[in-house]
């Protein structure tokens, strides 16, 4: 048990130096209405950057005496951290990047609670109101500098990938960095860290100033995808849906590496947007890529998409295997198309306001056993709505695999039950089984027990 640092006191910087008494009290409040529990979970995940843990319950059990309190002094705020992981410190000093991440946690939890979720000016029952809230959270985190040309490439992929896949993701990042492209990921390990690590070298060779490594996360998944140390712009959104929307509003193109159910959730979410009739003319490049051995993986993904959503969906995806230079060049050329489209439409470079999302895509999905069993996984609906329903199915599987609440539900009530169109269910069963065989479900996949059951009918 690594709890060598009995107590450390940290003074926040910038605006966090002047938190109000009410804000400090919220951060110390351990009740359901307070923020201390979620602050502790996020802070512990940040301080465990680099650990091979993707279960917040395991993380809490490993450091049962960890605590963080916010104390107001005459000259400002102090963070009192007790029993913190020793590997987050060098000579008893908290690593600078982790300190930045810790401050981002406090900033976003306070802002989202007080200025967004409990602010009547934001109508979160309306689609535009949710998008507006996401804009404000991103702006408060300074994710949207003005007068910057489109160059943010979102990279999605699994946190549990092979060493060869990880090296390939670094090569992609290196080629993107050489072309002055910035990286945005879910900020965790694996395919979320590799592109950033590669881009550091590419940006460095080009003497590219102010390189951006943007990490977007949310409290429920932060233990599974704790911010890697390269992230220099971290933002924590209130839930997975707002996090996903932030990716497509802030990013200008998306590269998808091999992954598991979380990656499929992201891909299906994206397809649910791009398949909407109002979005079919918007340029939004999507490239699926991996090393030479990933061809079989992507063939399975395309086959699943073809069976469930049809050719219209597969035509939105470009598969490019084992060609990092070509992928980066393709993405660079697409940035010019995005820029021209934004200029012609007078849309902002830093936030894609024109994408149409429906409230169903933006409302937090509770992966309870009842909600999972009632998903409409049938073809008696528009394709973009089916994509959204499939996204929720994979979201529930992610929750059952790595999120504390989801794991507790599975332990209490058994696996989620999924049913629907026989062809869709067979395709889902086949794809998920391939993820299990390839050990893509969890970091510790040797003992994986499915949190779902596919019912064929």
More confident residue, 456 or 50: 456
Of 58, 67, 83, the residue nearest 3 (C-alpha): 83
| 415-431 per-position pLDDT tens digit | 999 999 999 999 999 99
49 confidence band (pLDDT: 50, 70, 90): confident
Report whether pLDDT(52) > 70: no
Residue 441 pLDDT: 83
- Specify the higher pLDDT residue, 5 or 274: 274
Q: Quote the pLDDT of residue 326.
A: 98
pLDDT exceeds cutoff 70 at 114: yes
Q: What domains does the chain contain, in order, with CATH numbers?
A: 5-97 (3.30.1850.10), 145-345 (3.40.50.450), 359-455 (no CATH)
pLDDT, mean of residues 289-306: 95
Q: Is the confidence at residue 308, as pLDDT, over 50?
A: yes
Residue 216: its pLDDT value, please?
A: 96
pLDDT of residue 15: 59
pLDDT-derived band at 16, boundaries 50, 70, 90: low
- Give mean pLDDT, residues 269-281: 95
Contacts of 139 (CB under 8 A, 6+ apart): none
Residue 449 host element (H or E)? none
Per cent of the chain over pLDDT 70 is 93
Residues 6+ apart with CB under 8 A from 56: 41, 45, 222, 223, 224, 402, 403, 404
**What is the pTM for the complete model shown?**
0.92
User: φ and ψ at 419, to 5 degrees?
Assistant: -145, 160
Question: Quick one: pLDDT at residue 1?
Answer: 43
Instruction: List, for residues 398-411, the tens digit of each pLDDT value.
Output: 999 888 788 899 99
Predicted pLDDT of residue 457: 60
What are the pLDDT digits (tens) for 26-44?
988 888 888 998 998 899 8
Q: In which band, very low, low, confident or very high, does the pLDDT at 76 lie, cut at 50, 70 and 90?
A: low
Q: Is the pLDDT of residue 174 over 70?
A: yes
Q: Which long-range contacts (CB under 8 A, 24 or more apart) does 363-368 make?
A: 363/130, 363/241, 364/239, 364/240, 364/241, 365/240, 365/241, 365/392, 365/395, 365/396, 367/392, 367/395, 367/396, 367/399, 367/400, 367/406, 367/409, 367/416, 368/409
State the chain's mean pLDDT as an integer.
Answer: 90
- pLDDT at residue 208 in the model: 96
pLDDT band for position 74 (50/70/90)? Answer: low
Q: Which pLDDT score, from 0 to 100, does residue 442 have?
A: 73
pLDDT of the residue at 87: 86
Q: How confident is the model at residue 185 (pLDDT cuts 50, 70, 90)?
A: very high
Q: Mean pLDDT throughout 351-364?
A: 94
> Does residue 389 register a pLDDT over 90?
yes
Find the mean pLDDT for residues 329-348. Answer: 95
Which tokens is 105 given? 């946690």
E strands along 249-402, which residues? 253-256, 286-290, 318-321
């Amino acid at each position: 048990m690594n709890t060598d640092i009995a107590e450390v006191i940290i003074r926040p910087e910038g605006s966090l130096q002047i938190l109000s008494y009410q804000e400090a009290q919220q951060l110390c409040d351990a009740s359901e209405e307070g923020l201390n529990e979620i602050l502790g979970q996020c802070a512990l995940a940040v301080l465990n950057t680099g650990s091979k843990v993707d279960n917040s319950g395991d993380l809490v059990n490993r450091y049962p005496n960890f605590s963080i309190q916010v104390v107001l002094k005459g000259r400002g705020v102090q963070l009192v951290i007790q029993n913190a992981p020793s590997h987050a410190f060098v000579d008893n000093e908290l690593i600078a990047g982790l300190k930045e991440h810790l401050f981002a946690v406090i900033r976003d939890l306070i802002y989202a609670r007080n200025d967004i979720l409990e602010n009547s000016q934001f109508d979160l029952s309306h689609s535009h109101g949710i998008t507006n809230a996401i804009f404000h959270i991103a702006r408060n985190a300074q994710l949207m500098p003005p007068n910057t040309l489109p160059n943010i490439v979102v990279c999605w992929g699994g946190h549990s990938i092979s060493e060869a896949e990880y090296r390939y993701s670094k090569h992609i990042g290196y080629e993107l960095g050489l072309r002055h492209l910035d990286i945005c990921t879910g900020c965790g390990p694996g395919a979320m860290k590799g592109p950033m690590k590669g881009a550091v070298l590419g940006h460095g060779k080009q003497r590219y100033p102010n390189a951006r490594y943007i990490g977007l996360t949310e409290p429920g998944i932060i233990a599974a995808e704790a911010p890697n140390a390269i992230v220099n712009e971290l933002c924590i959104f209130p839930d997975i849906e707002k996090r996903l929307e932030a990716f497509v509003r802030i990013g200008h193109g998306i590269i998808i590496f091999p992954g598991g159910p979380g990656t499929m959730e992201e891909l299906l979410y994206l397809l649910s947007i791009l398949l909407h009739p109002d979005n079919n003319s918007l340029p939004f490049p999507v490239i699926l890529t991996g090393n030479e051995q990933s061809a079989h993986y992507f063939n399975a993904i395309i086959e699943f998409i073809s069976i469930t959503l049809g050719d219209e969906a597969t035509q939105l995806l470009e598969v490019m295997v084992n060609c990092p230079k070509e992928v980066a060049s393709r993405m660079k050329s697409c940035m010019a198309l995005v820029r021209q489209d934004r200029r012609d439409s007078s849309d902002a470079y830093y936030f894609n306001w024109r994408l149409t999302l429906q409230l169903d895509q933006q409302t937090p999905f509770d992966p309870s056993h009842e909600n999972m069993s009632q998903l409409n996984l049938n073809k008696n609906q528009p394709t973009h709505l089916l994509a959204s329903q499939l996204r929720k199915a994979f979201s529930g599987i992610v929750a059952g695999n790595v999120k504390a609440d989801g794991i507790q539900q599975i332990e209490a009530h058994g696996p989620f039950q999924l049913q629907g169109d026989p062809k869709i269910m067979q395709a889902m069963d086949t794809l998920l089984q391939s993820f299990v065989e390839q050990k893509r479900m969890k970091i510790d996949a040797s003992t994986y027990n499915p949190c779902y059951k596919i019912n064929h009918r």
